[in-house]
Structure 1
Amino acid sequence: MATHQATPARDNRTLLLKLSLLACVMFVFAWGLIPVYDALCRVTGLGKLLQPDVVSATPAATLAAPIVLTFDATVQPGLPWQVRPLVSTLKARPGEFVRVDYEITNASNRRVIGQAIPRYLPAAAAEYVKKLDCFCFAQQVFEPGQTKRFPVVFVVDKSVPAGIDSITLAYTIFDVPGRS
């Protein structure tokens, strides 16, 4: 009975073939996740985070008690941006349109691209803040030393529960890797 002796060259070719096949399968899997993720976002509404909300025409703000609105921003560690709201707090009634400007400066000597992600406190308030214009809807490109102002325009929905008497709208700014 003859035994088959594997040679190192044959073993290397077999290993290379298996690893190449594994890399191809991983690549196809990663690209296949994109339409699955898009479908998941459409079904669950997760993708609406970075899109303007739709607000129906409303009469003047209601006589409900004003809500204290606080504005904040943080930057991912290592991202050379300075981000600040030009107003830190204000009061607005549900149904009243609010505009707050944020000022962003690229404090580095290189071109930087970033993306802002909004966060609401309390988290339950998120469904009642309807943003119409926001720098978080798109990636922002900054040249070295450049400063820009961006408006955030929103309305607090009139159906906000009475227990929510203050809302913090905070942004976290992240670097968009590979795009700078």
Structure 2
Amino acid sequence: MASGMQAANLTLLRRLLLLVLLMFGFAWGLVPLYRVICEVTGLNRVVVADAMPGRDAAQVAARPVVLQLDAMVQPGLPWQVRPLQSRLQVKTGQFIQLQYELRNNSRQQVVGQAIPRYLPAEAAAYVKKLECFCLRQQLFQPGETRRFPVVLVIDRALPAAIDSITLSYSVFDVPQGEARP
């Protein structure tokens, strides 16, 4: 009877060991499987979208660029919008963090949307915004003031002819019925 129990325990141990090996193999195989699925479905195109065709950004040297900041408000809108810095000397490939201050000067709640504009216009293709208040509508209470970060990178593949970029935000009113939460 004892040898029958040992044989049953040995069989159970083998099955558990096989199960552990199968689980390890499945977990190990998920990484390449995930890569294939992302490649086929296009889920991983964020990496591809930042690549510039024909040029490897690591091979292009960083160079200085003057970044000028500006802001304007739709006429009649009771807002003040201003960059905390108006001019910066930056380098291509460098993470840049800026601050904009927005204030609602009215006595009522307002919703606004900022739209960026680049000068020269060709520079827009080389400015990659990672964080920006312009990506969503902003709700402000009466008299409220807030500061918003803008984080961006200027691609190293920026044409040599562009040595200065102006980033200007125009803020427009969003009627309350059209505002998105």
Aligned to 1:128: 126
Is the partner of 1:145 in helix, strand or coil? coil
Deviation at 1:178, TM superposition (A): 2.9
Q: Secondary structure at the match of 2:62?
A: coil
- Between the aligned partners of 2:176 and 2:93, the Cα distance in structure 1 is 41
Q: TM-score, normalised by structure 2?
A: 0.65
Instruction: State how many pairs are aligned.
Output: 126
Contact 1:105 1:148 in 2 (8 A): yes
* 1:7-37 C-alpha deviation (Å, 9 max, x unpaired): xxxxxxxxxxxxxxxxxxxxxxxxxxxxxxx
Normalised by the size of structure 1, how large is the TM-score?
0.65
Q: CA deviation at 1:177?
A: 1.3
Corresponding residue number in structure 1 for 2:18: none
1: CA distance, partners of 2:168 / 2:73: 11
Indicate which of 106, 109, 124 corresponds to 1:108: 106
Structure showing greater Rg: 2
Q: Does 1:156 align with 2:150?
A: no
Q: 1:99 maps to what in 2?
A: 97
- Alpha-carbon distance in 2 for matches of 1:63, 1:91: 16
Output the amino acid matched with 1:150: F
Tell me the SS of whatever aligns to 2:175: coil
Cα pair 2:106 2:142 within 8 Å, conserved = yes
Shift of 1:55: 5.0
Counterparts of 1:140 and 1:148 in 2: how far apart (Å)?
Answer: 10
Partner of 2:87 in structure 1?
89
Residue type at the aligned position of 1:74:
M
Q: In the alignment, what sits opposite 1:174? A: 172
Q: CA deviation at 1:104?
A: 0.3
Corresponding residue for 2:73?
75
Counterpart of 1:145 in structure 2 is 143
Bigger helix share: 2
Question: 1:59 & 1:173 partners in 2: Cα distance?
Answer: 33
Kept in 2: contact 1:63–1:93 (CA 8 A) = no
Q: Which runs of 5+ in 2 are unaligned?
A: 1-48
- Distance in 1 between the 2:130 and 2:63 partners? 23
Q: Aligned residues: percent identity? A: 59
Q: CA RMSD in A?
A: 2.1
Structure 1 residue 63 displacement after superposition: 4.3
Q: Residue 124 of structure 1: SS of its match in structure 2?
A: helix
Query: Structure 1 residue 129: deviation in Å?
Result: 0.4
CA displacement, residues 23-55 of structure 1 (integer Å, 9 cap, x when unaligned): xxxxxxxxxxxxxxxxxxxxxxxxxxxxxxx65
* Aligned-residue offset at 1:65: 2.8
Which residue type is aligned with residue 115 of structure 1?
A: Q
